[in-house]
Amino acid sequence: MIIPTAPVDVPHQPAIDDIELSIVMPCLNEAETLALCIRKARTFLDSSGIAGEIIVADNGSTDGSRQIANAMGARLVGVEARGYGAALIGGIAAARGRYVIMGDADDSYDFSALMPFVDALRAGGELVMGDRFRGGIAKGAMPLLHRYLGNPVLSFLGRHLFDSSVGDFHCGLRGFCRDKVLALNLASPGMEFASEMVVKAVLNRLDVRQVPTTLSLDGRSRAPHLRTWRDGWRHLRFLLTHAPRHLFLYPGIALGAVGGIGVAVLSTTSVELGRVELSGTTLLFCALAAFLGSQLIGFGAVARLYGVASKLWPTSAGVERFRRHFTVERGCLLGGGLFVTGLAGLGGAVAMWMDNGFGPMEPVTMLRLTIPAMLATLIGLQTVFTSFLIGLIDPR
């Protein structure tokens, strides 16, 4: 590790109002490569004639990285909250440029070749993503598990869950309009920050563009901060949490439809499929599917409204239609109707049992009456309680 100690010829810094581009590097013990990254970024700014600044968002380095940043003329921004996302949030908040380009300080990205990002931003792009799969990945620069499973799978999910065209969801080199990204209220402290930026940009309909970029073997001798399974799970959890339609609503509709049809058919008759007979036991499992489906639909509605009310994501036409027509009173009336219907069915079953002298009854006959009645009772109660919860979350 070489730490510059002699005075470094630091270029004249542009006035704050003249800064067009801020280059932000998150840093945690990157002394082996930080000086080279700053030097490449400075070369780019000088050769392109762009008025810019270089920011090192330091996350508590103890290896001399802070001294290197100061000696090389970069702006050092100390970020106490730990994590990749926390460091970037602090660096972006401190940036003074109209545009920001962020990239890791491990020399895996080429800070001397940022012009495609600047051109795309100047042309109207609000988030410009690098695409390593189109630009080229050097041998050994990305673990095989990440290259052929982790990144492709998570990027595939991100594209399909959020109707996005981004090919490389987790490229660490990206540029954006600072004010647009600040308005997204990004908050993830860890590696999932990379997913949060793309997801919220897409949900808020920012102009997202892509440029090919290369990934080189990093220059560190230590292990990377990224932890494959832990951080992969955090990315996946973030994607699913912010896609309540796919996590809750669509599975709930599917389960509810299959279970509801099964209950409607099997509560009146048995069904033979070849040598297999579907009857009372199958009716019970259909009722379980229908009940679980109704729960998931309720979860989906609550999650979607919570996300809108808390500004996690913007509203949509479907959400606004629901808000116009739904009231707690209407939900309670619907749930109450189902509850009373279920109680009537259970009363009928008790009456049949009474007529039989409270003795043994034919099991399938009782199941066909009691299971649908219990299902209606439970879904009715659930609808009432969910309605009150929605009213608490979304007072409108």
For the stretch 170-216, pLDDT in tens is 999 999 999 999 999 999 999 999 999 999 999 999 999 999 999 99
170 and 25 in one domain? yes
Q: For residue 351, is it within any domain?
A: yes
Q: For residue 274, is it within any domain?
A: yes
Mean pLDDT of 240-244: 93
- CB within 8 A of 357, min separation 6: which ones? none
Domain boundary among 226, 241, 256: 241
314 and 283 in one domain? yes
Q: What is the pLDDT of residues 289-306, one digit of tens each?
A: 999 999 999 999 999 999
Amino acid at 303: A
Domain ranges, residue 210: 16-241
C-alpha 369/C-alpha 216 separation (Å) is: 67
Whether the per-residue pLDDT at 37 is higher than 90: the answer is yes
Over pLDDT 70: what percentage of the chain? Answer: 96
Whether the per-residue pLDDT at 6 is higher than 70: the answer is no
Total-model pTM: 0.83
Q: For residue 11, is it within any domain?
A: no
Q: What is the pLDDT of residues 120-176, one digit of tens each?
A: 999 999 999 999 999 999 998 998 888 889 899 999 999 999 999 999 999 999 999
∠ Cα 138 143 148 (to 5°):
90
285 and 194 in one domain? no
Strands (E) located in the chain: 21-27, 52-58, 75-78, 99-102, 127-131, 174-177, 208-212, 271-273, 276-278
C-alpha 126/C-alpha 111 separation (Å) is: 20
Burial of 362 (0-12, 13-18, 19+ CB in 10 A): exposed
Binning pLDDT at 50, 70 and 90, where does residue 219 land? Answer: confident
Q: For residue 257, is it within any domain?
A: yes
The CATH number of residue 70's host domain is 3.90.550.10
Whether the per-residue pLDDT at 357 is higher than 90: the answer is no
More confident residue, 220 or 263: 263
Out of 91-100, 106-115, 353-362, pick the least confident: 353-362
269 and 206 in one domain? no
Whether the per-residue pLDDT at 258 is higher than 50: the answer is yes
284 and 231 in one domain? no
Q: For residue 284, is it within any domain?
A: yes
Out of 39-48, 144-153, 219-228, 348-357, pick the least confident: 219-228
**Model pLDDT, residue 220:** 82
Q: For residue 288, is it within any domain?
A: yes
**Model pLDDT, residue 359:** 81
Domain boundary among 193, 226, 241: 241
**Model pLDDT, residue 237:** 93
Closest CA to 126 of 209, 193, 196: 209
C-alpha 79/C-alpha 207 separation (Å) is: 29
∠ Cα 220 76 103 (to 5°):
45
Closest CA to 188 of 242, 146, 135, 238: 238
Q: Is residue 112 within 8 Å of residue 44, measured between CB atoms?
A: yes
**Model pLDDT, residue 210:** 97
**CA distances from residue 320 to 185, 323, 326, 396 in whole angstroms, order as listed:** 22, 5, 10, 11
**Could you count the other beta carbons within 10 Å of the beta carbon of residue 170?**
22
251 and 200 in one domain? no
151 and 27 in one domain? yes
**Model pLDDT, residue 154:** 93
**Model pLDDT, residue 289:** 97
Q: For residue 8, is it within any domain?
A: no
How high does pLDDT run on average in the chain? 92
Closest CA to 175 of 97, 246, 232: 97
C-alpha 107/C-alpha 224 separation (Å) is: 12
Binning pLDDT at 50, 70 and 90, where does residue 5 land? Answer: very low
Closest CA to 110 of 39, 61, 178, 57: 39
249 and 111 in one domain? no
Whether the per-residue pLDDT at 54 is higher than 90: the answer is yes
Q: Which tokens go with 1?
A: 């590790």
Tally of structural domains, the chain: 2
Q: For residue 9, is it within any domain?
A: no
204 and 106 in one domain? yes
Domain boundary among 211, 241, 271: 241
C-alpha 173/C-alpha 351 separation (Å) is: 71
152 and 53 in one domain? yes
C-alpha 78/C-alpha 331 separation (Å) is: 51
* 134 three-state secondary structure: helix
387 and 343 in one domain? yes
249 and 231 in one domain? no
